Amino acid sequence: MNKIMLLALVVVLNGCSKAPPTETVEALAANPERLKELREQCKTDRAKLGDELCNRVAEATNRRFLGDGKTPYTPPKEQPKF
């Protein structure tokens, strides 16, 4: 009986824990169609999706636009002629 109660307690506590995010920033940055879909949903109904997911969508959009940040700025060797 004690084992069954312990197992039931573990199952209940496991069910109450917060689920891990299904949409990571890396996964969204790699899938532009899904990113575009979620960006539109965040614009129209942010309360339904939640701030956490919309923040991940924004970060993925920034990473796609700005890159990974590892490429250094290299100015041209010659000055531009105006």
Residue 7 lies in a domain: no
Residue 6 lies in a domain: no
What is the three-state SS of 7-36? HHHHHHHHHHCCCCCCCCHHHHHHCHHHHH
17 pLDDT higher than 90: no
Q: Which helix (H) or strand (E) holds 64?
A: helix 51-66
Domain interval for residue 35: 22-67
What one-character DSSP code corresponds to residue 70?
Answer: -
Total domains, the chain = 1
Q: Sorting pLDDT into bands at 50, 70 and 90, what band is 74?
A: confident
Residue 29 lies in a domain: yes
Q: Sorting pLDDT into bands at 50, 70 and 90, what band is 21?
A: low
78 pLDDT higher than 70: yes
Residue 14 lies in a domain: no
Residue 63 lies in a domain: yes
35 CB neighbour count, 10 Å cutoff? 21
- Note if the pTM is more than 0.85: no
Closest CA to 64 of 42, 40, 33, 43: 33
Residue 74 lies in a domain: no
Residue 80 lies in a domain: no
* 4 or 10, greater pLDDT: 4
